[in-house]
A and B are shown apart, each in its own frame.
Chain A
Amino acid sequence: MSVPMIRHHLPDSLLMAYSTGTLPEAFDLAIATHLSLCDACRAAAESYDALGGALLEETDDKVEMTSGAFDALMARLGESSAPEPATKRPRDPVLPEPLASYVGGELEAARWRPVGRGVRQAMIPLTDKSATARLLHIPAGTAVPDHGHRGTEITLVLQGAFTDADGTFARGDVEVATDELDHMPVADIAEDCICLAVTDAPLQFKALLPRIAQPFLGI
């Protein structure tokens, strides 16, 4: 997998929350996928893990295990157990892990549905429904309808690029949109744009038509 030049990274607050384990599954998915493409954020995420480790080692907060816990554990470990074989998928050129596993291997395995203007989307099945994740396929040169956000939305570009008021986002780049951002991303003309978009609240579209379409989009 070629190493992309990433210019738009995850904010510290999200990296820290990924480390502390307080995010919805959809956000964990987007962050872990970005970390697979970005050494800088991976290093930052690992430093937050190191902070968690240091806190664990330093804390005076202890709750004793019940008596006999260690012996019970050793008895359990004595039972035979084959080491779990590591399953390794062949690498998909567009989808890094862990996204590829969630989608079912490769881009074509996703359940694509047309959502108008040639845009297609595929909802990604999650067990934690507090936030949604979907893949978006935006034909080259196409605009996603103007919309605002009620919650937080992370968009991670996997192929091609899009441009909005905040700049141009290419493979590996993340855009974090909150209540304040109101935007109309337009896909570059060179190539169709594929992104992972996760959000913890429905998007708010400006125009009437997209608003009517919103329930069908499931976003």
Chain B
Amino acid sequence: TGHKVGADDWVAEMLLIRDDRCQTSFAAIFGHFAPRLKAFLIRSGLTPAVSEDLVQDVMQTVWRKADMFDPRRASVATWLFTIARNRRIDFLRKHARPEPEDLPWGPEAEPDQAEVIGLKQESDVLRQALRDLPEKQRVLVEKAYFGDLTHTEIAAETGLPLGTIKSRIRLALDRLRHAMSS
């Protein structure tokens, strides 16, 4: 009822979860991200059963801590990525991942709309830059994030010399940075 947001407008869905406890929004975010998070956790070396459990934990956090989501600081995908990454580390280590101090934010209770839009635009540019990367570079950047591989391990897996990989990841990041700043 009254649920009307654009396709893939995850920030709007997240705010409906936060403010209206909207289950339709929650289902939309679950539908898009849960299978991707599960694939990410499996690729990082966890079993499918454990991965599914951890995805459920991540989604539980999304629902219960929706008020911690700050659309000025991170996209929904970024927020989910950090929750899943931390949950995975906590599971492996049985200890919470060390996190930096929370920065005190300004006095305004409501996020400034311009900042929210700015972050959304930057996120769109970043995703486009990723899509525009040459296939070889994109695969390596993805492996660094989702393969639980160090640069050395990537070298072993792909048979590429380490120097090539480091420079390729660096090149990929430089391209991304360039795309972000232009």
Verify A52–B95 contact, CB threshold 8 A.
no
B101 at the interface (CB under 8 A from A): yes
Is B56 interfacial (CB-CB < 8 Å)? Answer: yes
Q: Is the CB of A77 within 8 A of B94?
A: no
B99's partner among A20, A32, A72 (CB-CB below 8 A) is A32
Across the interface, B64 reaches (CB within 8 A) one of A22, A42, A49, A83, namely A83
Is A209 located at the chain interface by the 8 A CB criterion? no
A190 at the interface (CB under 8 A from B): no
Residues of chain B in range 38-63 having any CB-CB distance to chain A below 8 Å = 38-40, 42-43, 48, 51-52, 55-56, 59-60, 63
In the docked arrangement, what's the CA distance between A58 and B37, Å? 12
Closest B residue to A29 using CB positions: B98
> Which of A42, A54, A61, A83 has a CB less than 8 Å from the CB of B100?
A42
The CA of A163 and the CA of B60, in the complex, are separated in Å by 48
Can you list 26 pairs linking A and B with CB atoms under 8 Å apart? A12-B170, A19-B85, A21-B148, A25-B93, A25-B95, A36-B101, A50-B74, A52-B81, A53-B76, A53-B78, A54-B75, A55-B81, A56-B80, A56-B81, A58-B127, A59-B40, A62-B38, A63-B38, A65-B38, A65-B55, A69-B34, A70-B30, A73-B59, A74-B23, A98-B98, A126-B95
Q: How many contacts between A and B, using CB within 8 angstroms?
A: 166
What residues of chain B lie closer than 8 Å to A66, measured between beta carbons?
52
A173 within 8 A of B: no
Q: Which residue of A lies closest to B44 (CB)?
A: A21
Contact, CB under 8 Å: B79 / A46:
no
Given contacts A63-B35, A69-B52, A33 and B75 within 8 Å (CB-CB): no
Q: Is the CB of A28 within 8 A of B77?
A: no
List chain B residues, Cβ under 8 A from A217: none
The count of residues in chain A whose C-beta lies closer than 8 Å to any C-beta of chain B is 51
What separation, in Å, do the CA atoms of A87 and B69 have in the docked complex? 19
B106 CB to closest chain A CB (Å) equals: 15
The 5 closest A-B pairs by CB, nearest first: A53-B78, A35-B100, A53-B77, A62-B35, A57-B77
Known: A63-B51, A70-B27, A97-B100. A127 touches B93 (CB 8 A): yes
User: In the bound complex, do residue B94 and residue A81 qualify as a contact, i.e. CB atoms below 8 Å apart?
Assistant: no
**A185 an interface residue at 8 Å Cβ cutoff?**
no
Task: Tell me, yes or no, whether B155 is within 8 Å of chain A by CB.
Answer: no
| A17 within 8 A of partner (CB) | yes
Chain B interface residue count, CB cutoff 8 Å, equals 66
Interchain nearest-CB distance for B124 vs A (Å): 9
Distance between Cα atoms of A72 and B130 in the complex (Å): 35
Does B97 sit at the interface, judged by CB under 8 A?
A: yes
B126's contact among A32, A50, A97, A98, by CB below 8 Å, is which? A50
- Known interface pairs A16-B144, A35-B100. Does A58 touch B131 (Cβ–Cβ under 8 Å)? yes
> B81 and A49: CB pair below 8 A?
yes
Whole-angstrom distance from the CB of A100 to the nearest CB of chain B?
9
Contact status A81-B64, CB under 8 Å? yes
Chain A contacts of B64 at CB under 8 A? 77, 81, 83
Question: What sequence of 0s and 1s flags, for each residue 11-43 of chain A, a beta carbon within 8 Å of any chain B beta carbon?
Answer: 011001101111001001100110110000010
The reply to whether the CB of A128 lies closer than 8 angstroms to some CB of chain B is yes
B66-84 contacts to A (CB < 8 Å):
73-82
Residue numbers in A under 8 Å from B31 (CB-CB): 70
Contact indicator per residue, chain B 144-182, by CB within 8 Å of chain A (1) or not (0): 111011110000000000000010011001001000000
Flag if A33 contacts B98 (CB, 8 Å): yes
A77 CB to nearest chain B CB (Å): 5
